[in-house]
Amino acid sequence: MHKIKKAIYISFTLILGGCYNIGSQRLGKDQDEYSISIIESNKRQTLQNLIRLRYADTPGLLDTTQLISGYQFQQSAFLGVASDTFPIRPNGGIAAQLQQNPTFTFQPVTGDAYAHSFLSPLSPASLLPLAMGGLPIDVLLQLSAQSINSMSNNRPFSKNAGDMDSNSNYKIEEFFELIHNLRLLQAAGLLEIQLQKYPKIKDKSYETSHVFLNIYPTQNPNLEKITQNTKKLLNFSPKYKHMEVVYGSGTPKPGEINILSRSMLSILGQIAYQINIPEDKLSSGGTEKSIDDKENSIVNIKYGKIKPQNQFVSVYYDRYYYWIDRQDFKSKLAFTITQMLLELSKTTQSSGAIVTIPVNK
């Protein structure tokens, strides 16, 4: 009898003690699991928007604004004696139950926030500092720049007769030569990007930012050749130590470099137009043929009827799976930078209705 009482006492102690440690024990695990879930959800949303744009479908954003994970710990125990047996024997029981009740709050991006996130061009002063942090400048500019000075990065949806004036000089080859050179100079540590912020002034309610680009001299003959070629493509003036990068197109003013930056809708659209589509979707008229430019294709998105097993991200759309292969580093890098640009484009403006979904388990 004494042993039974002791066992029950110990069990009570363990149950009651455990309820006080739920929070600390679950904190790290919940943080990891929910963080991974939100990241994977955002990846699928971006890929879904790319596929939707490829089919001229409407893209959209649904941001996770709040996540509450609640726990309810219930425990019970009883002790009694069986009076209908001889000799009389004590009996008892212990029970415990842990319930999790997460609640997710989503906010659709609409109105001014939608226009800002999708339709407003990204500022060069916001884009180029990303290269200061180590992002490959060639991938960054291929995604976000419509043109640099007079060099075009425009990829039309199709190249049928009449789509483009064959006599026009868009200098597309020069654009890719330039960003390749800039990447080599960045890797060699010869590319300098400076961001200067100016405080708010009387007639403006926001601070202004200016970004400058400079190319260091080098004694390496191969790099010196690349340096001179890059400066020629950018119309680098020897009168200026730094060239200011500004938003614009065409021939720049002395001391400036024009970058016509894209909006997120344009960035997603240019990626979407390069996605290969099943033949039955083309023959049915659901979309146009993809751009035939495999050499400069930045994200390789595959498709198939069977769910992929080694995907970096995948979605299901109109009876087909679309995915990026986990072993395709180039595509993963470009897709990840696209995710970063999408976050950069978001605003704190109110987006309208909020959707709260409690989940019972």
**The predicted structure's pLDDT at residue 70:** 62
pLDDT value at 184 more than 90:
yes
* Whether residue 138 sits in one domain with residue 89: no
Contacts of 126 (CB under 8 A, 6+ apart): 209, 344
**167 band by pLDDT with thresholds 50, 70 and 90:** very low
- Shared domain check, 38 and 179: no
358 occurs within a structural domain: no
Q: Which of 92, 111, 130 is the last residue of a domain?
A: 111
Q: How high is the pLDDT of residue 346?
A: 77
Domain contains 357: no
63 and 127 belong to one structural domain: no
Is residue 245 situated within a structural domain?
A: yes
Which residues have CB under 8 Å from 341's CB, separation 6+? Answer: 122, 127, 143, 144, 264, 267
Can you give the chain as a three-state secondary structure string? CHHHHHHHHHHHHHHHHHHCCHHHHHHHHHHHHHHHHHHHHHHHHHHHHHHHHHCCCCCCCEEEEEEEEEEEEEEEEEEEEECCCCCCEEEEEEEEEEEEEEEEEEEECCHHHHHHHHHCCCCHHHHCHHHHCCCCHHHHHHHHEEEECCEECCCCCCCCCCCCCCCCCCCHHHHHHHHHHHHHHHHCCCEEEEEEEECCCCCCCCCEEEEEEEECCCCCHHHHHHHHHHHHHCCCCCCCCCEEEEECCCCCCCCEEEEEECCHHHHHHHHHCCCCCCHHHHHCCCCCCCCCCHHHCCCCCEEECCCCCCEEEEEEECCEEEEEECCCHHHHHHHHHHHHHHHHHCCCCCCCCCEEEECCC
Pair (165, 308) in one structural domain: yes
CA atoms within 13 Å, Cβ hemisphere of 218: 19
Full-model pTM: 0.76
95 and 126 within one domain:
no
| Whether residue 293 sits in one domain with residue 159 | yes
Read off the tokens for 85. Answer: 């047996």
- Whether 319 and 205 map to the same domain: the answer is yes
Bridge partners of residue 104, in order along the sequence: 67, 357
**Structural domain count of the chain:** 2
- 56 within some domain: yes
Which residue segment(s) compose the domain that 308 sits in? 119-350
Q: Counting Cβ atoms within 10 Å, is residue 75 exposed (0-12), middle (13-18) or buried (19+)?
A: middle
Least confident window among 58-67, 201-210, 224-233, 313-322: 201-210
Write down which residue in 94, 111, 128 finishes a domain: 111
Encode pLDDT of 216-245 as tens digits.
999 999 999 999 999 999 998 888 888 999
Whether residues 35 and 168 fall in one domain: no
116 — pLDDT class (breaks 50, 70, 90)? confident
In which band, very low, low, confident or very high, does the pLDDT at 202 lie, cut at 50, 70 and 90?
low
Mean pLDDT of 134-157: 88
Per residue in 308-331, pLDDT (tens digit) is 999 999 999 999 999 999 999 999
User: Any idea which of 157-161, 257-261, 296-300 has the lowest mean pLDDT?
Assistant: 157-161
Looking at the structure, tell me whether residues 174 and 286 fall in a common domain: yes
Domain membership flag for residue 224? yes
pLDDT at 44: 93
Look at residue 300 and tell me whether its pLDDT is greater than 90.
Answer: yes
Alpha-carbon span 151 to 45, nearest angstrom: 32
* Domain match, 245 and 96 both: no
What is residue 189's predicted lDDT score, i.e. its pLDDT?
93
Indicate the pairing of strand 89-108 with strand 243-247.
Answer: unpaired
- Which residues, in sequence order, are CB contacts of 113 under 8 Å at separation 6+? 346, 347, 349, 350, 351, 352
Q: Are strands 311-317 and 320-325 parallel, antiparallel or unpaired?
A: antiparallel
User: Does 360 map to a domain?
Assistant: no
Task: Say whether pLDDT at 117 is over 60.
Answer: yes
- Is 225 inside a domain boundary? yes
- With a pLDDT cut of 70, the percent of the chain lying above it is 67
Average pLDDT over residues 16-27: 56
- Are both 22 and 89 inside the same structural domain? yes
Percent of the chain with pLDDT over 90: 40
Gyration radius from the chain CA atoms: 29
Distances from the Cα of 298 to the Cαs of 49, 138, 287, in angstroms? 17, 11, 20
Dist. CA 285–CA 329, nearest whole Å: 33
- Chosen domain end from 59, 94, 111: 111
What pLDDT sits at residue 188? 94
- Of residues 259 and 65, the one with the higher pLDDT is 259
**Each residue's pLDDT tens digit, 330-352:** 999 999 999 999 888 876 555 55
Q: Say yes or no: 102 and 126 in one domain.
A: no
- Is residue 359 in a domain? no
Measure the CA–CA gap between 129 and 247, rounded to whole angstroms: 15
Residue 72 vs residue 164, higher pLDDT: 72
Residue 32 pLDDT grade (very low, low, confident, very high; cuts 50, 70, 90): confident
What is the rounded average pLDDT of the residues 42-49?
93
